[in-house]
């Protein structure tokens, strides 16, 4: 999965997307709070909010309804490129020194490193 915690993403499908489209509030964007790569899901700040009904307890003496974000499928979000200012697909490439980085498929802007440099993937042998 090429989306990481802390990335700014744009929602492209799902219940929140269709509701926002009906109200002309597109695009929906938010910061990724957590990523579950084995399930292929991400939790985005302010997206897919649900109410959890909580009984009174020591931890929550008031009780009532808590609003929290639930995971959505990673295929329903796209990474937001700072240069394009639009949702884009993400690619991975090796640099000349063998380091691995993410990049915007639309404009080629680098989106940060993925792995440190490795001699095996270096284009220039020294």
Q: Where are the domains of the chain?
A: 1-80, 89-126
Q: Using 50, 70 and 90 to split pLDDT, how confident is the model at 25?
A: confident
Q: Using 50, 70 and 90 to split pLDDT, how confident is the model at 1?
A: confident
d(CA 76, CA 42): 9
User: Quick one: pLDDT at residue 122?
Assistant: 87
Domain 1-80 classification at class level: mainly beta
Name which of 111, 109, 45 is nearest 77 in CA terms. 45
Please state whether the predicted TM-score (pTM) of the whole model is above 0.85: no
Q: Using 50, 70 and 90 to split pLDDT, how confident is the model at 126?
A: low
Helices within the chain (DSSP H only): 15-22
Q: Alpha carbon of 85 to those of 14, 29, 101: distances in Å?
A: 21, 11, 20
Q: What is the pLDDT of residues 32-73, one digit of tens each?
A: 999 999 999 999 999 999 999 999 999 889 889 989 999 999
Q: Is residue 125 pLDDT above 80, yes or no?
A: no
Helix or strand or coil: residue 75? helix
Q: Is residue 75 pLDDT above 80, yes or no?
A: yes
Mean pLDDT, range 20-34, rounded to an integer: 90
- Structure token pair of residue 12: 């492209």
Q: Is residue 78 pLDDT above 60, yes or no?
A: yes
- Structure token pair of residue 22: 């009906």
User: Quick one: pLDDT at residue 112?
Assistant: 87
């Amino acid at each position: 999965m090429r989306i990481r915690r802390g990335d700014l993403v744009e929602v492209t499908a799902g219940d929140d997307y269709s509701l926002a489209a009906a109200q002309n509030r597109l695009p929906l964007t938010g910061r990724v709070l957590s990523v579950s790569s084995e399930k292929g899901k991400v939790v985005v700040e302010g997206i897919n909010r649900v109410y959890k009904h909580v009984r009174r307890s020591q931890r929550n003496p008031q009780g009532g309804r808590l609003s929290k974000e639930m995971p959505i499928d990673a295929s329903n979000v796209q990474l937001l490129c700072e240069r394009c200012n639009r949702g884009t697909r993400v690619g991975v490439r090796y640099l000349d020194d063998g380091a691995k980085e993410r990049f915007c498929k639309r404009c080629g802007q680098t989106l940060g490193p993925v792995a440190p440099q490795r001699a095996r993937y270096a284009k220039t042998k020294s």
